[in-house]
């Protein structure tokens, strides 16, 4: 349990969601009766249909070859005791996405923030703000690293775990996404990919090279290099309307427009070398290097209706920005099989990153006279290391025991200079931030197979995190510890069944981020001096935050079909205590002689989240014998949540939509080396009550993608892609209500079609 405890009120799970989950599970089981044959990992069978006359006459005509058997990704999912979804290379590369988050948006229950077609922060169950744990090769992503820094070409697979496990960590209230980079393969491969894409009037390009080979006779390795350059244009439009609560008179009417051009280029390198040391002993070396830089330029215009008591802050703006990001990280993994039952695994990771940013913003009046010049520069350096040790032991009684110890440390040194009209501001907090975070954890888990029908998992994990900052006049020290028990079970109705049920009882948590704990105050750009407004607050951190703690329950039904298809239904429930949410309040601050509105994270209280996730991956000829072998991939998720301390309706978790849906299909032509497909991703709009005086809404998000893959020969493929080919504007609103005014802001962010072509060569 965390150091600070909270009283939990009894909360009922929505009967509608529970009953719907079981009805859908029962319906799927009734509709998909399977033969009484257990699906085993057999060698895939290759079948060639009879050659038609045309093929017989043309020796260059490629005969259609169909591979049937168990899909390895589905087999990993089926045999895992804890619920796990595995996405392989073929599905990752299908639509030629430019970012990993665009790949993830098609997975069951996963949503992304930001405008359509641009990826954004990744959320499982629609829960943003750090509820989703993102891992890279089983390790927490290093500080400063973003999924946007990782091209999909460098991925081997993606693993999605809906409930936490002791080994992978309990900082996963919504779930865990593990990104696995290219692995060293036994077979030799030499692959090159080159592509270009166009979004609106902006062109981008990328190229990658992957080499799998051996050093000598027995040292396999893989090396991947990716080079990319991205250009984009972002247009924005917003309207701010303030009205008097008592009279309805318009106090302020502003209309803002802006255009930003972004340029970004980067080089990504990663490798994996597996060195056999002795019988049952090996050393794996995995270095990663990322080098990137970017720039932006923007112009904006602010029109304000005459009248009212609020003075127009500026008429036009012009801004330029630039930045660099460089990261170097080395991972070492030593494995030794002590005997037939015991194995030791030790992982050491160390690295650092250097990030710089510089922005210059000019605000001008209607006569193009300079009103305010803001010059902001940051220089951030992160150094971190982690050490993990794991002992695995297999008992004769079908128990598989694992115990582990973990420790990691991260140190951040940030220098920041903010000048306003040539003079420094916020000097009372110091320009330098020196912060550190240390974490220790220990865990034990037991996987047990009491019979061929039942598998069970029990785990216990303890974790403690200490965050410190010795910044001038803003020192912070925060320590929290959490004990999390974890239980999972899988049951088959009979030994040969293709149906199985899963259930989980877990505790998980979300620690406050470094930014939430020690954030240096950030001043509102619209109101930098004097008093500001509730709709444009300053932002600051809170060093007294406690971690959020969640109790969770899941139950799922899965049916595995004879040709590799899957039908599943999953229900989840989370009860969260010490919920962290940013709250806007009027404060007496040190950086102004007047009271100002400040947005600061607080432990608000308790919340619940629940939902249903439905998924089907089938081929039409599995359902109807005479149908074409069209592969269908569909999923539908429905979410609901409630924050106890916020008045309803719509008192949901921040950023959580009411659901998401994906429907996709692809087909390979019988007599031509061409396959094609498409997918539609829909996230419905929703309203959100943030506090008793703040609310917001998000518009519906729709993204349609398509691809055509032409296999020229065994070594050459050409992939054509259309991403976001039905572009829609992304709408959002924010409303604030105080004693005298209703302040309403509506924002519109257009999106654009992105088309591309990529050449894929096997040399």
> What's 226's domain CATH number?
2.40.170.20
Average pLDDT score over residue span 181-187: 73
User: CA-CA distance, 455 to 448, in Å (whole number)?
Assistant: 6
User: CA-CA distance, 536 to 596, in Å (whole number)?
Assistant: 10
Least confident of 1-10, 355-364, 448-457, 661-670: 1-10
Q: Kindly state whether residue 9 falls inside one of the protein's structural domains.
A: no
Percent of residues, the chain, with pLDDT higher than 90: 54
> Residue 143: which pLDDT band, with cuts at 50, 70 and 90?
low
Kindly tell me if the per-residue pLDDT of 35 is higher than 50: no
User: CA-CA distance, 676 to 719, in Å (whole number)?
Assistant: 9
Q: Kindly state whether residue 5 falls inside one of the protein's structural domains.
A: no
pLDDT at 62: 39
Is the model more confident about 144 or about 204? 204
CB 89 within 8 A of CB 82: no
Kindly tell me if the per-residue pLDDT of 186 is higher than 70: no
Kindly tell me if the per-residue pLDDT of 718 is higher than 50: yes
pLDDT at 473: 60
pLDDT at 471: 65
CB 373 within 8 A of CB 424: no
Distances 6 to 13, 291, 517, 578, 603 between C-alpha atoms, Å: 20, 45, 20, 7, 10
Residue 77 phi/psi, 5° resolution?
A: -65, -40
Q: Kindly state whether residue 7 falls inside one of the protein's structural domains.
A: no
Count of structural domains, the chain:
1
Q: Kindly state whether residue 172 falls inside one of the protein's structural domains.
A: yes
| CA proximity to 437, closest of 405, 461, 469 | 469
Kindly tell me if the per-residue pLDDT of 72 is higher than 80: no
CB 323 within 8 A of CB 356: yes
CB 114 within 8 A of CB 725: no
DSSP reduced 3-state for 385? strand
Least confident of 302-311, 326-335, 437-446: 302-311
> Residue 431: which pLDDT band, with cuts at 50, 70 and 90?
low
User: CA-CA distance, 105 to 123, in Å (whole number)?
Assistant: 9
Q: Kindly state whether residue 133 falls inside one of the protein's structural domains.
A: yes
| CA proximity to 706, closest of 198, 87, 96 | 96
Mean pLDDT of the chain: 85
CB 295 within 8 A of CB 324: no
Average pLDDT score over residue span 171-187: 84
DSSP structural state of residue 165: B
pLDDT at 760: 93
pTM tops 0.75: yes
Token pair 């050659």 is found at 51
Kindly tell me if the per-residue pLDDT of 405 is higher than 60: yes
pLDDT at 415: 84
Average pLDDT score over residue span 313-333: 94
Reported as type and span, the H/E element at residue 516 is: helix 514-518
Q: Kindly state whether residue 653 falls inside one of the protein's structural domains.
A: yes
* C-beta contacts of 256-259 below 8 A and 24+ residues apart: 256/300, 256/301, 256/302, 256/303, 257/300, 257/301, 258/298, 258/299, 258/300, 258/301, 258/317, 259/233, 259/234, 259/235, 259/298, 259/299, 259/300
pLDDT at 184: 67
User: CA-CA distance, 603 to 577, in Å (whole number)?
Assistant: 9
Domain enclosing residue 475, as ranges: 15-762
Average pLDDT score over residue span 277-305: 93
Paired tokens of 551: 């109790």
pLDDT at 682: 94
Distances 96 to 103, 374, 713 between C-alpha atoms, Å: 9, 39, 20
pLDDT at 528: 78
> Residue 42: which pLDDT band, with cuts at 50, 70 and 90?
very low
| CA proximity to 406, closest of 333, 328, 348 | 348
Residue 518 phi/psi, 5° resolution?
A: -125, 20
CB 709 within 8 A of CB 717: yes
Kindly tell me if the per-residue pLDDT of 34 is higher than 60: no
Q: Kindly state whether residue 3 falls inside one of the protein's structural domains.
A: no
DSSP reduced 3-state for 621? helix
pLDDT tens per residue, range 598-645: 999 999 999 999 999 999 999 898 888 888 889 999 999 999 999 999
Kindly tell me if the per-residue pLDDT of 138 is higher than 90: no
Q: Kindly state whether residue 487 falls inside one of the protein's structural domains.
A: yes
Distances 686 to 31, 174, 523, 608, 616 between C-alpha atoms, Å: 34, 19, 29, 17, 26
Average pLDDT score over residue span 426-444: 80
pLDDT at 187: 73
pLDDT tens per residue, range 4-28: 433 333 343 343 333 333 333 433 3
């Amino acid at each position: 349990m965390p150091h600070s405890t909270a009283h939990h009120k009894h909360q009922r799970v929505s009967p509608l969601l529970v009953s719907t989950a079981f009805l859908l599970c029962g319906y799927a089981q009734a509709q998909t009766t399977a033969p009484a044959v257990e699906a085993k990992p057999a060698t895939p069978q290759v079948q060639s249909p009879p050659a038609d006359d045309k093929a017989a006459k043309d020796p260059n005509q490629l005969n259609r070859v169909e591979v049937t058997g168990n899909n390895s990704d589905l087999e990993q999912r089926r045999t895992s005791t804890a619920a796990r979804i595995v996405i392989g290379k073929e599905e990752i590369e299908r639509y030629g996405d430019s970012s990993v988050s665009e790949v993830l948006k098609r997975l069951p229950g996963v949503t992304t923030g930001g405008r359509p077609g641009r990826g954004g922060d990744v959320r499982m169950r629609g829960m943003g703000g750090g509820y989703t744990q993102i891992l890279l090769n089983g390790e927490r992503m290093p500080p400063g690293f973003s999924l946007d820094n990782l091209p999909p070409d460098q991925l081997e697979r993606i693993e999605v775990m809906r409930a936490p496990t002791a080994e992978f960590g309990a900082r996963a209230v919504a779930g865990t996404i593990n990104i696995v980079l290219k692995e060293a393969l036994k077979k030799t491969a030499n692959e090159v990919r080159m592509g270009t894409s166009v979004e609106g009037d902006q062109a981008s390009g990328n190229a990658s090279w992957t080499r799998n080979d051996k050093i000598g006779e027995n040292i396999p390795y893989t090396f991947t290099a990716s080079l990319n350059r991205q250009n984009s244009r972002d247009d924005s439009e917003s309207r701010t309307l303030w009205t008097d609560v008592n009279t309805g008179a318009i106090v302020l009417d502003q209309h803002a427009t802006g255009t930003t051009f972004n340029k970004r280029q980067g080089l990504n390198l990663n490798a994996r070398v597996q060195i056999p040391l002795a019988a049952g002993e090996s050393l794996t070396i995995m270095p990663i290097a990322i080098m990137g830089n970017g720039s932006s330029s923007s112009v904006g215009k602010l029109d304000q209706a005459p009248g009212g008591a609020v003075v127009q802050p500026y008429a036009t703006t012009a801004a330029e920005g630039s930045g660099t990001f460089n990261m170097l990280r080395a991972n070492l993994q030593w494995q030794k099989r002590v005997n037939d039952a015991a194995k030791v695994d030790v992982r050491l990771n160390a690295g650092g990153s250097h990030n710089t940013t510089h922005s210059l913003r000019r605000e001008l009046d209607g006569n193009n006279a300079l009103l305010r010049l803001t010059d902001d520069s940051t220089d951030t350096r992160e150094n971190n290391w982690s050490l993990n040790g794991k002992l695995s032991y297999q008992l004769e009684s079908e128990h598989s025991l694992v115990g582990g110890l973990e420790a990691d440390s991260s140190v951040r040194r940030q220098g920041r200079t903010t000048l306003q009209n040539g003079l420094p501001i916020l000097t009372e907090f110091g320009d330098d931030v020196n912060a550190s975070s240390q974490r220790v954890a220990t865990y034990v888990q037991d996987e047990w197979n009491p019979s061929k029908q039942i598998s069970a998992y029990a785990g216990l994990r303890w974790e403690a995190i200490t965050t410190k900052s010795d910044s001038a006049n803003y020192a912070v020290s925060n320590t929290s510890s959490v004990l999390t028990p974890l239980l999972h079970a899988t049951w088959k109705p009979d030994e040969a069944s293709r149906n199985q049920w899963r259930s989980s009882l877990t505790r998980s948590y979300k620690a406050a981020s470094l930014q939430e704990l020690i954030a240096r105050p950030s001043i509102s750009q619209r109101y930098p001096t004097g008093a500001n407004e509730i709709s444009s607050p300053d932002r600051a951190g809170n060093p007294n935050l406690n971690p959020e703690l969640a109790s969770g329950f899941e139950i799922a039904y899965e049916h595995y079909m004879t040709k590799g298809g899957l039908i599943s239904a999953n229900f989840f429930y989370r009860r969260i205590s010490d919920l962290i949410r940013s709250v806007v309040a009027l404060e007496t601050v040190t950086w102004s002689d007047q009271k100002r509105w400040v947005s600061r994270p607080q432990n608000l209280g308790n919340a619940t989240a629940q939902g249903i996730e439905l998924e089907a991956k089938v081929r039409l000829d599995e359902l109807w014998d005479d149908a074409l072998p069209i592969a269908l991939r569909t999923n539908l998720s429905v979410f609901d949540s409630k924050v106890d301390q916020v008045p309803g309706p719509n008192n949901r978790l921040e950023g959580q939509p009411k659901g998401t849906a994906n429907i996709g299909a692809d087909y390979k032509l019988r007599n031509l080396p061409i396959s094609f497909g498409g997918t539609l991703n829909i996230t419905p709009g929703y309203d959100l009550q943030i506090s008793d005086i703040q609310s917001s809404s998000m518009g519906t998000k729709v993204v349609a993608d398509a691809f055509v893959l032409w296999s020229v020969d065994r070594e050459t493929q050409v992939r054509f892609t259309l991403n976001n080919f039905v572009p829609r504007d992304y709408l959002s609103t924010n409303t604030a209500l105080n004693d005298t005014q209703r302040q309403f802001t509506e924002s519109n962010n257009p999106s654009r079609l992105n088309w591309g072509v990529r050449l894929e060569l096997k040399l």
